[in-house]
Amino acid sequence: MKVPLKWLKDYVDTDISPEELAEKLTLAGLEVSAIQVIGGNWENIVVGQIAAVNPHPNADRLRLATVDTGKGQQTVVCGAPNLVVGDKIAFASAGAKLIDGHTGKAEELKPAKIRGVASEGMVCSEKELGLSENHEGILVLPEEFQVGKHLSDYLGDAIFDIDITPNRADCLSVMGIAREVAALTAKPFRMPDLSYPESSKSVESYAAVEIKAPDLCPRYCATVIDGIVIGPSPGWMQKRLAACGARPINNIVDVTNYVMLEFGQPLHAFDCQQIRGNKIIVRRAAAGEAMYTLDEQERKFDSDILLIADAERPIAVAGIMGGLSSEVRDYTTSILLESANFSQAAIHRGSQNLKLSSEASVRFEKGLNPGLAMMALKRATQLIAQLGGGKVAGGIIDVYPARTAKKPLSINGHNVRRLLGIDLELDQIQRCLELLGLSCRKGDSNNVLVGDPWWRNDINCTADLVEEVARVTGYDNIPETMLSSSLPSGAGSLIVSFRQEISSFMVACGFQEIITYPLTSPEIMQKLSSSPGTAQPEMLKIANPMSRDLEYLRTSLRMGVLSVLSRNQRSRENNIRLFEIAKVFLPRPQDLPLENEILCGLVDTVAPETYWQSKPAPVDFYFVKGMVETLLARFGIKADYLYGHDVTLSPAGSADVVVDSVKIGVIGEVHPAVLMRFDIAEPAFLFELDVDKLLTLASQPLIYKTISKYPGTTRDIAMLLDTGVTYQKIVDIVKGFSLVSDMQLFDLYVGEQIPEGKKSLAFRLTYQSADQTLKDEEVDKVQKRIIERLSKELGAVLRS
Amino acid sequence: MLDQVEEVASQANAELQKIASLDELEGWRVRYLGRKSKLINILRSLGDVPIEERRTLGARANQVKVGLESRFTQKKEQIELLKNQSLELEKIDVTLPGQPYQVGRLHLTTRTIKEICDIFISLGFQIVEGPEVEWEHYNFEALNMPAEHPARDGFATLWADYKTETGARPMLMRTHTSPVQIRTMEKAKPPIRVIAPGRVYRYEATDATHEWMFSQVEGLAVDKNITMADLKGTLFEFARRLFGQDRKCRFRVDYFPFVEPGCEIAIDCFVCGGKGCRLCGSSGWIEILGAGMVHPEVLRGCGIDPEEYSGFAFGMGVERIPILRYGIDDIRLFYNNDLRFLKQF
């Protein structure tokens, strides 16, 4: 909202600087985003009067103007066509800062010789003064301006650009802001006079109003002004409209716009002669009904749209835009002036539905008090009668189906102390509210009763009044205290600290955390499957997607990490290790999707780091597995790794991670076909763990195991086995011997030294008892039984 | 006995000559000066020696012991000196590169959220979370924003393609973390002190200053006697801990439908110190969070009596903080996951 300071001063006397005022408004919730100062640099520019105009001796297109400056006369060279003796003009003397009419840049005026004639000043155009782009001729000032006075005394102004929050539709008006200024500077607010003479012919004889949709139109007020003459509005009004960004049109339309800017209430003028049947009907549109609006567009309506119609046809879209057919034209002599209240929901829906927004709809959408309609109507009627001539029909049409006597709100010192933490006397509270113009009276129980302000719609409960008190007192006066209330019990969400622990582990393992978008597309999901045509998991769709790529809620994190790896390989990053912990969204009938938290990691093997001492350990399946094992061990979880059939992973090297026969994740080499689709260099290894399941498993209590006081003994075993025998089978057998406390595989060999189809395994067993030091014979006995079982059950052959 | 002492002395001295390492020297000390050594035994058994011999023997044995001890010390110093001299010659090139450790990092957003949460945890807040796909009820209605409420215009919403039997479309991607306030108040009884970090989504075309996915941290404290002064104290304290104890804070009126009174907290610009610059949009202030006293209707809707309880709520954008701190000029860098960006933090 643009608000000129001079206009504000019509309603409130304020002498503080524009900057100070802006600061006060901003702190009180009306954020001043810019102040445009007009005439701030108009030093050396005064009101002058043209005393004489003579031809330039050396140039046909230039003339010599002699100007009375109030301190004597000066003659300057001037090229403007509209030099008239006796006119008041803006005269700049040397040193003034003016906008160059041709370059548009600010420059200082210097004495100059123009075609041989010395010129020590200038008669200014609007453009040179920075008032407008007009450079056609000089600016002619009103007769009443006094010669010799500073131009800024008359034309200087500061225009505030204020961001209005959605609750303060009343501040989309100069008066609304002026009330704030009055309250914040403790000055009285002046209401303009609203009276006007009425003729004996009653308004009802011109038109009748019927509201057929009282739910959408709480109030409809109208007056009729007959015998008007359409013409331009006066300069002062045009200037104010222009300063606020409205284009002047004619005296009637300008008044409706002016009063809208002044009061915040949109108004509309209909040409009375175009209202068929002398009837205004406020109703929902019939399906398929259409009309041309003022912007000459044909609009088609559905039944959500609220229309103003006459007896036969729609003549305006209520609260949004007038119709072309009933527009005020040059030949209009009689108008019906509408000042109505429409429901914010109806106008909001209508405006979105029609994709049509106007100064009027913007105000209605935020919600206006129905009381405003009557006040603004009186003001507009008065101004039209003044500026357009004509006679105002007697009385005002006021159809007000939503009229209710609002109960006054109550506020007391306790309310204020409870919410703000400050102690105010009841009188102080009342004074704050009265500064805002609210009508207050003392109640029976040491409280103040506050009436409904007709211009505001945002004061509906005691808390609202408390905020008003706080705004006027100043938020600065609220002290800073720390919470002294008791602490809640419990630790909050468990998953948060669990997630942090996992993340820290991943970071310690050299992984970079990434965060990817949760929306994807079936095409991208399809890329995760090595065999095309695999059934896709069901995904929740977005009704209004921003693009095809962002149309479904992901059920996997894989495409995110794969895409990020691909992108970073292209920027030549080495040894990439990525992880993400985030949610996937699994649809459920008649419910929000299940949000399942997943950890997904991915490593590539491109250009391992080179180092002058030795090569780092290779990145392969066992690298990823080791990491997963260590992560699980950290939470006391021991998993089995079983052959799985994951469509993203290579059948050669992938496994399901299983705990107590529940699958909690996968690890493995990414299938070459998938890597190719994501344009990733082979090989890459991926793992995925269900964090929610992990949390459940990790929550199981740990029990301390006694540390044995007795030393352990180690024995090594080397044996030949068929290559198809998994290590797990050996582990399962060895695990059955309780004296074995640890088992470490230290060699695995396949090659020339041993028969084909065989592999050699060597591992070290640690034997230890909790009750005694083991004797060699005991250990030998157990070791022998282990070897027997391995050879019997797995066909193992001991190597000497 | 005296002969034995003399023999020990000459033998010890002779052996000491040949010793070159500290280990050998320690063996020598144990042999000749240790608790079980001949010399110490002699000294210990002086009482058994006839009185006429005792004086001479005692004097001599002690003299030998002191002499050996002093030579031991000398020898030790000598060996250490030699050792140091030889280490000097074995110097390695300390300027060669050290072994590389691959270190990972948390995402900048995660780190910032943690930083914010840690401050509030120290102020007695608990971390809670809520779903990212929400019901319209939690995202809007319960927060005092019924359908067609003007404040909803500020939340361009991504709706899920889910229809109820009546044809309504009540599921959406949450546009802010505020629904977690409602879910918390529905479940927990005061005292409540929670913060809720999380991802939020808007229907938004992306550019250098707009991203459709971003993060917020929401906060809520509800109990008897919580006032706006508590809000101000708590959040100013937070702002100073996050941005520095010297920062000035500004407390101004603002509007959010689910609080009343509402406010906004800004800090003086840490680039220009409040004079006005490009970072702060020449205002001198950087807005960091919105807050207010929980609206009585919101409390009532969650089954909390607004006559008995009061509380404050706040919310802040997360990405904005590192954007301001590190001068990041394009918000899209956050979720583009370019390692050249992520590795800088």
**Model confidence over A330-354: pLDDT tens digits?**
999 999 999 999 999 999 999 999 9
Q: Picking from A417-426, A449-458, A567-576, A764-773, which range would have the lowest pLDDT averaged per residue? A: A567-576
Confidence of residue A703 (pLDDT cuts 50, 70, 90): confident
Return d(Cα B142, Cα A755) in angstroms, integer.
Answer: 74
> Which range in A34-48, A98-112, A668-682 is most confidently predicted, on average pLDDT?
A668-682
Segment A400-408 long-range contacts (CB within 8 Å, at least 24 positions apart): A400/A218, A400/A219, A400/A220, A400/A221, A400/A370, A401/A211, A401/A214, A401/A217, A401/A218, A401/A219, A402/A214, A402/A218, A402/A219, A402/A341, A402/A370, A403/A219, A403/A370, A406/A451, A406/A452, A408/A449, A408/A450, A408/A451, A408/A452
Chain B environment of A481 (Cβ under 8 Å)? 227, 229-230, 232-233
**pLDDT recorded at residue A615:** 72
Task: Mark which residues 36-95 of B lie under 8 Å from A by CB.
Answer: none
Chain B environment of A493 (Cβ under 8 Å)? 126-129
| Minimum distance, in Å, between the CA of residue B117 and any CA atom of chain A | 11
Residue of A nearest to B109 (CA): A515
Confidence of residue B187 (pLDDT cuts 50, 70, 90): very high
**pLDDT recorded at residue A433:** 97
**pLDDT recorded at residue A388:** 85
Burial of A244 (0-12, 13-18, 19+ CB in 10 A): buried
Q: What percent of chain A has pLDDT over 90?
A: 76
Identify the CA nearest to A601 among candidates A668, A659, A647, A539.
Answer: A668
pLDDT of residue B134 exceeding 70, the answer is yes
> Which range in A35-44, B229-238, B267-276 is most confidently predicted, on average pLDDT?
B229-238
Chain-chain contact of A611 with B97 (C-beta, under 8 angstroms): yes
Compute φ and ψ for A176, nearest 5 degrees.
-60, -45
- Is this prediction's pTM over 0.90? no
Chain A environment of B110 (Cβ under 8 Å)? 503, 513, 515
Pairing of strands A88-93, A121-123: antiparallel
The three-point CA angle B172-B175-B177 to 5° equals 115
Which amino acid appears at position B300 of this protein? R
**Model confidence over A157-185: pLDDT tens digits?**
999 999 999 999 999 999 999 999 999 99
Task: Mark which residues 324-343 of B lie under 8 Å from A by CB.
Answer: 334-340, 342-343
Residue in A471, A493, A585 nearest the CB of B129: A493
Chain-chain contact of B104 with A28 (C-beta, under 8 angstroms): no
**Interface predicted TM-score (ipTM):** 0.88
**pLDDT recorded at residue A404:** 85
**Tokens at A775, concatenated:** 């004797």
Residue in A479, A512, A542 nearest the CB of B339: A512
Confidence of residue A609 (pLDDT cuts 50, 70, 90): low
**Model confidence over A757-786: pLDDT tens digits?**
999 999 999 999 988 999 999 999 999 999
Return d(Cα A485, Cα B221) in angstroms, integer.
Answer: 9
Compute φ and ψ for A301, nearest 5 degrees.
-115, 150
Identify the CA nearest to A687 among candidates A500, A549, A505, A494.
Answer: A505
**pLDDT recorded at residue A22:** 95
| Minimum distance, in Å, between the CA of residue B249 and any CA atom of chain A | 10
Q: What is the mean pLDDT of chain A?
A: 92
**pLDDT recorded at residue A550:** 96
Chain B environment of A544 (Cβ under 8 Å)? 158-159, 203
Q: Which position has the token pair 């780091």? A: A609
Average pLDDT over residues A556-565: 96
Q: How many CA atoms lie within 13 A of A788 on its CB side?
A: 7
Confidence of residue A387 (pLDDT cuts 50, 70, 90): very high
Chain-chain contact of A483 with B233 (C-beta, under 8 angstroms): yes
Compute φ and ψ for A396, nearest 5 degrees.
-130, 135
Stated as kind and residue range, the H or E segment containing A336 is strand A334-341
Average pLDDT over residues A741-755: 92
| Minimum distance, in Å, between the CA of residue B119 and any CA atom of chain A | 14
Chain B environment of A27 (Cβ under 8 Å)? 250, 252-253
Identify the CA nearest to A551 among candidates B331, B158, B157.
Answer: B158
Q: CB–CB of A99/A128 below 8 Å?
A: yes
Q: Where are the domains of chain B?
A: 2-90, 108-342
pLDDT of residue B18 exceeding 70, the answer is yes
Return d(Cα B200, Cα B138) in angstroms, integer.
Answer: 14
Residue in A349, A483, A513 nearest the CB of B110: A513
**pLDDT recorded at residue A688:** 97
Task: Mark which residues 159-218 of B lie under 8 Å from A by CB.
Answer: 159-162, 169, 171, 173, 188, 191-194, 199, 201, 203-205, 212-213
Q: Which stretches of A79-183 are assigned E, i.e. beta strand?
A: 88-93, 97-99, 106-108, 112-114, 117-119, 121-123, 140-141, 157-163
Chain-chain contact of A166 with B124 (C-beta, under 8 angstroms): no
Residue in A492, A510, A540 nearest the CB of B127: A492
pLDDT of residue A679 exceeding 80, the answer is yes
pLDDT of residue A532 exceeding 80, the answer is no
Average pLDDT over residues B41-56: 85
| Minimum distance, in Å, between the CA of residue A526 and any CA atom of chain B | 21
**Model confidence over B307-345: pLDDT tens digits?**
999 999 999 999 999 998 998 999 999 999 999 999 999
Chain-chain contact of A517 with B213 (C-beta, under 8 angstroms): yes
**pLDDT recorded at residue B272:** 85
Residue in B102, B169, B342 nearest the CB of A510: B102
Query: What is the CATH topology of the domain spanning B108-342?
Result: BirA Bifunctional Protein; domain 2 (3.30.930)
**Tokens at A63, concatenated:** 């003339």
Confidence of residue A536 (pLDDT cuts 50, 70, 90): confident
Quick check: bond before A111 cis, omega within 30?
Answer: no
- A364 at interface of B, judged by CB pairs closer than 8 A: no
Residue of B nearest to A567 (CA): B338
8-state DSSP, A191: P
Q: Is the dihedral of CA A707, A708, A709, A711 positive or negative?
A: negative
pLDDT of residue A268 exceeding 70, the answer is yes
Return d(Cα A787, Cα A734) in angstroms, integer.
Answer: 9
Chain-chain contact of B150 with A593 (C-beta, under 8 angstroms): no
Chain A environment of B141 (Cβ under 8 Å)? none
Confidence of residue A607 (pLDDT cuts 50, 70, 90): low
Average pLDDT over residues A276-288: 94
- B115 at interface of A, judged by CB pairs closer than 8 A: no
**pLDDT recorded at residue A608:** 59
pLDDT of residue A583 exceeding 90, the answer is yes
pLDDT of residue A616 exceeding 80, the answer is no
